[in-house]
Amino acid sequence: MNLEGLRVMGVDPGLTRCGLSVVQAGRGRAVLPISVGVVRTPSDLELEKRLLRIFKATTEWIQEYQPDVVAIERLFERGNVSTVIHTAHAVGVIMLAAAEQGLAVHMYTPSEVKKAISGNGRADKKQMTVMITRILGLAEAPKPADAADALALAVCHCWRAPLIAREKAALARRDAELAARRNNHPVAGRGAGHPVNRIQGAQS
């Protein structure tokens, strides 16, 4: 399925540093970089104000670059519960910003992204940065790592999007076929002529 022109916003969520990127699908597996950056919030700022900055930045990016969909890293246990909770807060406001702008959100685990970009689900950050720089034809590696991660998420979705679209179309066809069968073979009302009632009547 050809999704050339699909514009994806990739987000590497974080409270202190939140990576944002936008790429556009080209022909085949080609992906064109549009923009990349990092939103930073100071640790001494109140939590609600830090989240507001991330929400506003995400909204501004969506309005400026007009992506078709948003791809976010799926949270996983990193051993530091506090870090996970703070990142979860950031994910929440990012998803809210996307939903408010009418965009669907797709989530990918780090291993899924690494596998898609490098072929190795355990690739380290240096390998991922090298690969994403090469894939996008960038003159220099994106920095910091949050920016490279955001780009990797966006590219990952560009490459996964055709499969997702095919699966969605297949489900739609299946649902349509089931609906057509129900319409062609409606369930009879349980009146006197219904087989179950006739059997029960014969036994009584």
Alpha carbon distances (Å) from 188 to 5, 180, 181, 191, 195: 49, 16, 14, 8, 9
- Which residues are identified as catalytic? 12, 73, 146
Q: At what angle do helices 81-100 and 47-65 cross, to 10 degrees?
A: 40
Strand-strand pairing, 7-12 and 17-25: antiparallel
Question: Mapping DSSP to helix (H, G, I), strand (E, B) and coil, where does residue 23 land?
Answer: strand
DSSP 42-71: -TTS-HHHHHHHHHHHHHHHHHHH--SEEE
Alpha carbon distances (Å) from 175 to 126, 170, 188: 45, 9, 22
146 known ligand binder: yes
Strand-strand pairing, 104-108 and 69-73: parallel
The annotation places the binding site at: 12, 73, 146
